[in-house]
Structure 1
Amino acid sequence: MNLSFIWHMHQPDYRDESGIVQMPWVFLHAIKDYYDMPWMLERHSGLKSTFNITPPLIRQLKLYYDNPQNSDKFFNLWLREISSLNMAEYSWMIKICKSSTYDTVVSKMPSYDVLYKKESYTHQEFFDLEVLFVLSWCGVYLRTNSEIVKEMLQKGKDFIYEDKLSLLHELTHFVRGIFDYYVELRDRDIISISTTPLNHPILPLLLDMNSAKVANPSTNIPKHPISLKDDALLQIERAKELFEDTFGFQPDGFWPAEGAVDENSVALLSECGIKWIATDQEILFRSINSRDKANLYKPYDYNNMCIAFRDHELSDLIGFTYRFWEPKLAAKNFTSLLSSINDSHSDATVFIILDGENAWEFYDNNAFDFFDALYTNLGSTPWLKTLHMQDVYGLDKKRLNRLAAGSWIHGEFNTWVGHKEKTRGWELIFVTKRDYEHHKESLDEATKAKITEHFLASECSDWFWWYGDDHFTEFGLEFDTLFRSHLIAIYNLMKIAPPLDLFEPIIQNRSSVDFWLKPKSYISPDIDGRHGSFFEWIGSGVVYENRTSSTMDIPKGPVNKIFYGQDDECIYFAFDTDIEMMKRCKILRLIIDPIGFNEEIDIDFTTQKQYCRKNGGIVFEVAFEDWLEIKIDASSIESQKLDFRFELSSGDAVIQTLPSFGELEIDMENDFSDRWFV
């Protein structure tokens, strides 16, 4: 069988209208992921892969080649004397420097861990926090091969200004070589390189907003939308130009932003010389009106466009599930699942396509141990061959007569239009575009060119990703400000007072409280599996799984909400679920740390609705009728602080990991005296 990986490397354009990068994530992912991902592949002879590198990433990474402090807000403040920072700047730097993932990054660096937990700092502590934050983003390659990075990690504290200068010089020198490294690996036929339209827009929505209703008739779209076809064409052509200028050759493949496709957008890509694209299995299933996965394991030809359809479940195992597994066990499981496919389809071509950067900080050691084990297994599997997309293009392809509209998220476009905040963003673009059309004849060509750049930037999918309640980030207001700044700049360039609406945040103040309410009091509900009495769960904590996730779209499983709480002797959980989806789940794995409890709970309730059992020395009750309830007797557990995690399985596949943000901590000594309420 053939196995083809596509790793999608993308960051939105963080530059404001003055060209200054407002958030440092491009640089930080560069020192952690953009080099490490192909390097981890190269270490294993004979393996191939495709890397999709987006234009906003390319443009911004080049700004860090020399004196990044001149182009990046963070590094400008990072190099300034602490006493020169005003309160807003000081607070913002703390917010950034405490944004590293705690469990897998901060907790592994003792000096950083201490500072991370502090609320106030001396000048030296603040200085150390700034340095340790940047060091925490250094990937395995730098930690292994850079003497400066190794020495500073060993030092751990009491850094001086010269340390900052030395570190920044080392890292800027490192990022200058990243794109050359990709070209070298391509020349050696280890990788192929593709790209995405210029500002990562949802092409079908630019061409015709009604494509959202084609994919999902219940989607609310803006009133009086206009086609942005001219912009769509520019997004493709300018991406090709930037790609050739960077890598020295024309791209022949695109990952359409978010795997978003329809027949019109694919026709436009084809007209622009693109020969292959990739998207999600849901698009294939809707196109052929069949969910038989046997149809998935081959490339397709739609009107002379080669299309690869990702195996959603296998891709999500790497993106979301295996981070909780022991690396060699995860690699073995993945290879076993491929073997099962090979047993039934020996000529299969399986496509694994996912985010190539945002998942790895949730793995220990930035996923190095996982990839080392996975690539070792793949390289020693005689019945498997890895291909990049240049190889795939040369394979026999099955004809596809129709292409459904949709994206890699549920086969629809609701992540980018539908919610009132998302729709409001589009309405502001359309209003601004109409005003521009009324005034463009009076503008010179240089001004029109600048305005076009701002329109293309405003069409980035990432702005709409963070609008609405389906994703959360502490930096939502910063994204909102960046989006509106492009439209404000257009009016300023036209010498027209921007509408006041553009100065009003689209995002209303939100925080993690929107998806995670902490317990307020003891609870002692009856465990009967019936969602009958609201009062039994008053004071419980609530995790809204249908509102969580971050830079990656965590696949939604049967559980929508988790209610949890405790009394003096027991811990309680209730799972508000999609009943029909839940009935397909047979096993719930319960993991409790630090006591090492890891047991499967039978939730096949076809013969019984409720039972009490003892596993691993712990007694628990389970019941399910119109929701799932669990009661755990904590009297035999010595540890007072417990971290809970759950895995729901259907067949051999883990279909949902809970909570989606990691682990749920319960402190058995908590008396809730600080959270009493009336």
Structure 2
Amino acid sequence: MNLSFMWHMHQPDYRNEDGIMQMPWVFLHAIKDYYDMPWMLSRYKNIQATFNITSPLIEQLKLYYKNPEQSDKFILLWLQNPSSLKTQERQWLVKICKSSQFDTMVKGLPRYEELYKKDSFSDDEVLDLEILFILSWCGMYLKENNLHVKSLINKEKNYTDEDKKVLLNELSKFIGGIWKFYKELYNEKRITISTTPFYHPILPLLLDMQNAKRANAHTQIPQNYEKLEEDALLHIQKAKDLFSDTFGYTTDVFWPAEGAVDEKSVKLLKSLGVNFIATDEEILYKSLNSKSKKLIYAPYNYNNMLIGFRDHTLSDLIGFEYRYKKAEDAAQNFMSQLQSIKSINDNATVFVILDGENAWEFYKNNGFDFFEALYSALEKASWCKTLTMDEVKDLPFRELINLAPGSWINGSFDTWVGEYEKTRAWELLFLTKKDYEHHKESLSDDIKAKITDNFLGAECSDWFWWYGSDHYTNFSLEFDAIFRRHLINIYNLIGISVPNDLFIPIGKNQSSTKFWIKPQSKITPKIDGKRDSFFEWMGCGVIDESKLFSTMHANTQPVKKIYYGQDDNKLYFAFEGDIKKLCKKGIINIIIDPLELSSTISFNQKKVFLQNIEIKLACKEWLEISLDKTQIKQKKIWLRFEIADSSGSLQTLPSFGELEIDLQDDYSKNWFI
């Protein structure tokens, strides 16, 4: 059988009108993922894959080769001594520096663990926090091979401004070799490099907003929408041109942004020299009106366009589930999944396509252990051969008569249009386009070109992704501002007044209040595993984990909500969700910092002791736990919970890190008369 990986490497364009990147994620993923991913593959001579590189990523990465402080707001502030920063600058910098994943990136750097839990910092502490943040993002290649990175990790604390300069210079040189490394692997026929329409737009929505309703009749779309066919064409052509300038050849393999396809977009891609694209299995099922899994294991020919349909299950296992398993167990599970497919279809071609950068910060060692186990297993499996997408083009294919519109998320476009905020963003985009059409005849070609680039930038799928309730980020206001700034720039370039609506944020501040209600009063519930009364948990804290699930993650996580609170003697926790089926075989690992206590307890145990701390459990309608706090001397503790069963880890809670609890909180601040 054949296995074809595609790793999608993408960041939206964070540049403002002055060309300054407003967010540092291109830089951070460059030192962690963009080199590590092909490097890990290169360690195995018989492993091939395709890397999809988007245009905004290409352009922005090049800005870090020399003097990155001139192009990145974060690095400009990061290089300054903390004492010189304004209050707002300092707060924003600290917010970024506390965004690393705790379990996989912060832990192991003792000083970072200490600072991560603080709310206020001295100048020296900020300096340590800044450098440790960058070190936490360094990938395994840098940690193993770069002497400066290794030296700074070993130093642990008491960093200096000079340490910053040396580190940034070293990382800039490293980033300067990334695309060269890709070209070397391509020339060795180890990888295919593909790309995406320029600013990562949802092409079917640009061509015809009605595609959203064709994919899901219940989706609400803007009433007075525009068909942006010229923009769609430019996205494709500009991507091909930039790719050729960067890698020295023209690719005919594309990953349409978000796997979004329809008949018109495929026809347009084909007319511009694209011969192979990929999308999701759900599109094939809708196209053939059949849910048979056997159907996806071959390339298809639709109107002379070859299409690969991703195995959604296998892709999501890597993207979202294997992070909870040991590397060897995850690799073994993946291989057994492949063997099951082979037993059904001996000549299967399996497409595994997913984000190539964001998953690994949730994996131990940035995914290195997992890929070592997986690639080793694939090298030994004589019955399975990995292929690049260029090699897939030479395989036998099946004919496809119809192609349903949709994306890789539920076969619809609801992630980018439908909810009020998403639709409002489209309405403002269409309004700006209409105003431009009324004035463009009087504008110079140079101004028109700048306006067109702002329109293309505003059409990036990422802005619409973060609007609405289906995704959460601490940086929603920043993303919102970048989107609206494109439209404001257009009005300024036209020379007419900017509509007031563009100065009003579309999205609400997605602070923790969206999913987290803090405790309001003391509680003393009975620990019996039953939903006895609403009132016994009234005033408790609630963390709604379901609001943190991405649409890709679906409902695979057993715990949907965490309830918690305390009285004078005990802490109380309740876990709501698919708990009943875990009552007999469920396991919970309770981790308490800074006590450095950890205990694995079966759901069916009624009472255990953890270093004189009594823990009671009851699991029936939901899981309830009490924890005796009278034996704890610390004022504050931080807790995490790991839910597991006989198959392994299922969920780590809270998903955003650790739950901080003030054991002496009397909640008087919440009292009122």
Q: Provide TM-score, normalisation by structure 2.
A: 0.90
Q: Secondary structure at the match of 1:104?
A: helix
CA deviation map 1:128-176 (0-9, x unaligned): 2222222221111011111111111112223333322221111111111
CA contact (8 A) 2:252 2:275 kept: yes
Query: Structure 2 CA distance, aligned partners of 1:570 and 1:292?
Result: 49
Q: Secondary structure at the match of 2:588?
A: strand
Paired position in structure 2 for 1:139: 139
1:168 pairs with 2:194? no
CA contact (8 A) 1:463 1:480 kept: yes
Which runs of structure 2 are paired with 1:252-651 in the superposition (5 Å)? 252-520=252-520, 521-524=522-525, 534-549=534-549, 553-557=552-556, 561-565=560-564, 572-576=573-577, 589-594=586-591, 621-623=618-620, 628-632=621-625, 643-646=640-643
Quickly say closer, same or farther: Cα 1:212–1:537, change in 2 above 3 A.
farther
1:109 pairs with 2:109? yes
CA deviation map 1:398-445 (0-9, x unaligned): 112211111111111111111111111101100000000000000010
Paired position in structure 2 for 1:607: none
Query: Structure 1 CA distance, aligned partners of 2:264 and 2:16?
Result: 32
Which runs of structure 2 are paired with 1:193-232 in the superposition (5 Å)? 193-232=193-232
Query: Structure 2 CA distance, aligned partners of 1:128 and 1:558?
Result: 36
Query: Structure 2 CA distance, aligned partners of 1:333 and 1:615?
Result: 34
Paired position in structure 2 for 1:28: 28
Quickly say closer, same or farther: Cα 1:365–1:672, change in 2 above 3 A.
farther
What is the identity percentage for the equivalent residue pairs of Structure 1 and Structure 2? Answer: 52
Letter in 1 for 2:135: L
Paired position in structure 1 for 2:612: none
Q: Secondary structure at the match of 2:622?
A: strand
Query: Structure 1 CA distance, aligned partners of 2:527 and 2:113?
Result: 40
Please tell me the root mean square deviation across aligned C-alpha atoms, in Å.
3.0
Paired position in structure 2 for 1:605: none
More displaced 10-residue stretch of structure 1: 420-429 or 163-172: 163-172
Shift of 1:571: 5.2
Query: Structure 2 CA distance, aligned partners of 1:296 and 1:584?
Result: 32
Shift of 1:352: 1.2
CA deviation map 1:311-369 (0-9, x unaligned): 11211111111112111121112112222222222211111111111111111111111
CA deviation map 1:582-625 (0-9, x unaligned): 99999974331347666887xxxxxxxxxx667999985443xx
Query: Structure 2 CA distance, aligned partners of 1:101 and 1:664?
Result: 10
Shift of 1:6: 0.7
The number of residues matched between the two structures is 655
CA contact (8 A) 1:644 1:663 kept: no
Q: Secondary structure at the match of 1:498?
A: coil
CA contact (8 A) 1:597 1:616 kept: no
More displaced 10-residue stretch of structure 1: 5-14 or 158-167: 158-167
Query: Structure 2 CA distance, aligned partners of 1:59 and 1:364?
Result: 30
Q: Provide TM-score, normalisation by structure 1.
A: 0.89
Shift of 1:653: 11
CA deviation map 1:632-669 (0-9, x unaligned): 576899999753233699xx899x74658266759696
Letter in 2 for 1:590: I
Paired position in structure 1 for 2:594: none
Query: Structure 1 CA distance, aligned partners of 2:352 and 2:238?
Result: 28
Quickly say closer, same or farther: Cα 1:340–1:677, change in 2 above 3 A.
farther
CA contact (8 A) 1:360 1:367 kept: yes
Paired position in structure 1 for 2:94: 94
Letter in 2 for 1:23: M
Quickly say closer, same or farther: Cα 1:464–1:641, change in 2 above 3 A.
closer
Query: Structure 2 CA distance, aligned partners of 1:549 and 1:66?
Result: 38
CA deviation map 1:37-95 (0-9, x unaligned): 00001111200111000101001001111111111111222223434322221222111
Query: Structure 1 CA distance, aligned partners of 2:494 and 2:439?
Result: 8
CA contact (8 A) 2:558 2:651 kept: no
Query: Structure 2 CA distance, aligned partners of 1:653 and 1:613?
Result: 19
Letter in 2 for 1:254: F
Q: Which runs of 5+ in 2 are unaligned?
A: 592-596, 610-614
Paired position in structure 1 for 2:43: 43
Q: Which runs of 5+ in 1 are unaligned?
A: 602-611
Query: Structure 2 CA distance, aligned partners of 1:597 and 1:418?
Result: 45
Quickly say closer, same or farther: Cα 1:586–1:63, change in 2 above 3 A.
same
Shift of 1:252: 0.8
Letter in 1 for 2:554: P
Letter in 2 for 1:629: W
CA contact (8 A) 2:583 2:619 kept: no
Paired position in structure 2 for 1:661: 655
Shift of 1:299: 1.5
Shift of 1:525: 5.8
Quickly say closer, same or farther: Cα 1:566–1:91, change in 2 above 3 A.
closer
Quickly say closer, same or farther: Cα 1:415–1:676, change in 2 above 3 A.
same
CA contact (8 A) 1:554 1:660 kept: no
Q: Secondary structure at the match of 1:554?
A: coil
Query: Structure 2 CA distance, aligned partners of 1:509 and 1:427?
Result: 20
Quickly say closer, same or farther: Cα 1:240–1:663, change in 2 above 3 A.
same
CA contact (8 A) 2:573 2:626 kept: no
Query: Structure 2 CA distance, aligned partners of 1:458 and 1:56?
Result: 12
Shift of 1:447: 0.4
Quickly say closer, same or farther: Cα 1:442–1:511, change in 2 above 3 A.
same
Q: Secondary structure at the match of 2:317?
A: helix
Query: Structure 1 CA distance, aligned partners of 2:242 and 2:343?
Result: 43
